[in-house]
Amino acid sequence: MIRTQFLPPNRLSLEHFNAAIFDMDGLLIDSEPFWKVAERESFAEVGIHITEEMSKVTAPMTTAEVAAHWYAFRPWEGRSTRDLEHSVMSRVRELINEHGNALPGVRDTLDAARARNWRIALASNSPLSLCEHVLVVLDLLDAFDVIVSAEQVARGKPSPDIYLEAAHRLGVSPMRCLAFEDSISGVRAARDAGMTVVAVPSTGQTFESDTQLPHAIYPSLSAFREVHFNTPDSARGAQRNR
């Protein structure tokens, strides 16, 4: 089993990359708790009381897939799965507005990637409108050249479609894209797209099989940037205050 760890810098070279592609939930923003709250509240309204174990089952799914999954588990009357999907997303938006903050190292890693003249994309299973909303709240919308949602491809993660579409829109070969992920399904999607994958695991996440293994694992984007872009947070803060 490979657990969250800091890998030495000689394990990964950035020289041949021309683009960086970032996941959103759990990597740019700690939104996973928001999704759990929203799903529990919304599905309780139709008689489905979601436990922590039940949340783990649907964690890799898109919102539409989650609604379809729980309807198949225990069909309800009076509201469509689309309505429940909208209810979940609306509640997530509210929680992001109230509590959403960028995770450590996000802004500086994006700035450093741009300084290398890399193209930058977001690749998320979340709906496009929510992706854009998160980036606006975090003041990161201008940092991305491309935003790709599961709504825009045939299959969401763990299928590679989102990453392949992001590379296509960036105009960069998948082999020259560095993907950043926090989850097993995301790592698998990026690997199957032919990309090099850096994992910044979300809380409790481990990678246990060959199909799940990222090429490098770091405890935070700050740690990745300090190794590969050689700009510690303290130094960057001092530069900004000059």
Verify whether residue 210 is a known catalytic residue: no
Tokens 């992920």, located at residue: 181
Among 59, 71, 69, 51, smallest CA distance to 35 is for 59
Q: Report the distance separating Cα 160 and Cα 190, nearest Å.
A: 6
Contact assessment for residue 148 and residue 19, using Cβ atoms and an 8 Å cutoff: no
Q: Which two tokens stand for residue 28?
A: 């740019």
Give dist(CA 109, CA 161) in Å, integer.
Answer: 25
Helix H, strand E, coil C: the string for 46-109 is CCCCCCHHHHHHHCCCCHHHHHHHHHHHCCCCCCCHHHHHHHHHHHHHHHHHHHCCECCCHHHH
Give the whole-angstrom CA distance, residue 138 versus residue 102.
Answer: 6
* Residue pair 166/143 in contact by the 8 Å Cβ criterion: no
Active-site residue, 25 included:
yes
Catalytic residues: 23, 25
